[in-house]
Amino acid sequence: LGMVKVAEGKSFVMADIPGLIEGASEGVGLGHEFLRHVERCRLNIHIVDVSGSEGRDPIEDFETINRELKNFNEELASRPQIVAANKCDMASAEQIDAFRTYIEAKGLPFYPISAATRQGVDALTGAVAAQLDQLPPIRQYEPEPAPQPEVAEGGKRPFTIRVEDGVYIVEADWLMSSLGMVDMEDYESLQYFQRVLIKSGIIEELERMGINEGDTVSILNFEFDYIK
């Protein structure tokens, strides 16, 4: 899990779902475990290698994963989806255009990106944030929300941050009472967790300390990668 900051005071929680392969819906690999996480997401960003750098076919890869989603839960295959064509810096214009034509014919948004060079990443995250604003929460899979105490007036509470072995460790006496019962598997609870970090000034201080995208943040027993 990571928090993606797209604008001042605007961000969203993202779950990175690795390991989806053919047969995932039947439990191949860690299929069931990862697919259960997908059920909690309102919007799927399907990242496909458009370059064919490993001899793969992006259309075949796209269809394989969507087939696994449908086999696991038909509703997942019809959930809103954005397609990100990754490694566009290594792909030819013809490869990108062919995949774009295929995806857009299905009525899906298409964004060419390069994770390595960050080409197109800002446009993608902006589109994701805009679409999330239009989507209701997924209630059918959510457990009862954990108790969520309010942040104090003004939002600022004392805390310390230290760096050990490249990990940013956040500590504060009030964190346990405020976040100790937050269910990190629950979308609404994660949104609350995110608001606390912003209002308390923790995110601002992490940025002042020079945190970089991909660095690990540790709060209580919860670790996540910082995503700007």
Residue 184 in this model has a pLDDT that exceeds 80? no
Helix 31-38 to helix 58-72 angle (10° resolution) is 80
Q: HSE, CB side, 13 Å, CA atoms: give it for residue 99.
A: 30
Residue 110 in this model has a pLDDT that exceeds 90? yes
Q: CA angle, 126 as apex, 125 and 127 as ends, to 5°?
A: 90
Spatial separation of the C-alpha atoms in residues 121 and 43, rounded to whole Å = 17
Residue 23 in this model has a pLDDT that exceeds 90? no
Enclosing H/E stretch for 10 = strand 10-14
Residue 140 in this model has a pLDDT that exceeds 60? no
**Higher pLDDT pick, 159 / 5:** 159
Identify the residue whose tokens are 């007036």: 153
Percent of the chain at pLDDT > 90 equals: 36
Domains of the chain: 2-134 (3.40.50.300), 160-227 (3.30.300.350)
